[in-house]
Structure 1
Amino acid sequence: MPEDIPVDEPCAPETGSARSARERRDAADRKRAERARRRAEGIPEPTLVDRAIATALADLSRRGRLRARAKAQKSFEGISYDLARVLGQAMEELVERRGVKLPQAKKALMARLGLTRQS
């Protein structure tokens, strides 16, 4: 009878595959909560920030004729980017083309490039 079953007896130990599944579910829940928090704060997804940085580098490469310079000197040695210009281009991409608000774009970009302390 169901009323004869003691309630405080411990359950069977968790198997390895059950533990792995629980850990995956817990990790997915944490990631989901983190994405929801970022969305609520208006902070763009890391992939969007990565695309903005890549677009900025591509734009600066085209404008600076990087390919022609590298071909002429037969190497990429000595060719560099000004970080302020990369940041400016990426900010422009996020704010003007992607509609991210300036403070959130700056926070996300600086964090993604490792230019601020992570809290």
Structure 2
Amino acid sequence: MKHLRQRNIKILSELTSYLVRIGCSDLHIDFNTKGDITYISFTSVNPDISEQILNDLTSQLNMPRRQDIEEYYWALNGDNDSSSELSLVGMMTDSVDVNYTNDVLKISLTRLK
């Protein structure tokens, strides 16, 4: 797949920007590539995440993978402040887990080549 590293960078950038915008602090990012699989996880502290924000985040990131869309639109990710960019991140990943417990938000993404 062409531009694999740049696509991973766009995912990292978009989710980092989103988490900072919703007030997350103490943000930690783990990025690991093993063979054909990329694992990305974000852990952050935010005592003020509403149920609405959490539901929107979860539903947008859990979009089915769409490699056809990814091929054409990945470069547009990060160009504005719309929540639709989270949907594009969802379409670029194969699985997502969002967990919010004791004011700690953890997002884990898996992306196959």
Q: TM-score, normalised by structure 2?
A: 0.32
Please tell me whether Structure 1 or Structure 2 has the larger radius of gyration of its CA atoms.
Answer: 1
Structure (1/2) with the larger strand percentage: 2
Structure (1/2) with the larger helix percentage: 1
Q: TM-score, normalised by structure 1?
A: 0.31
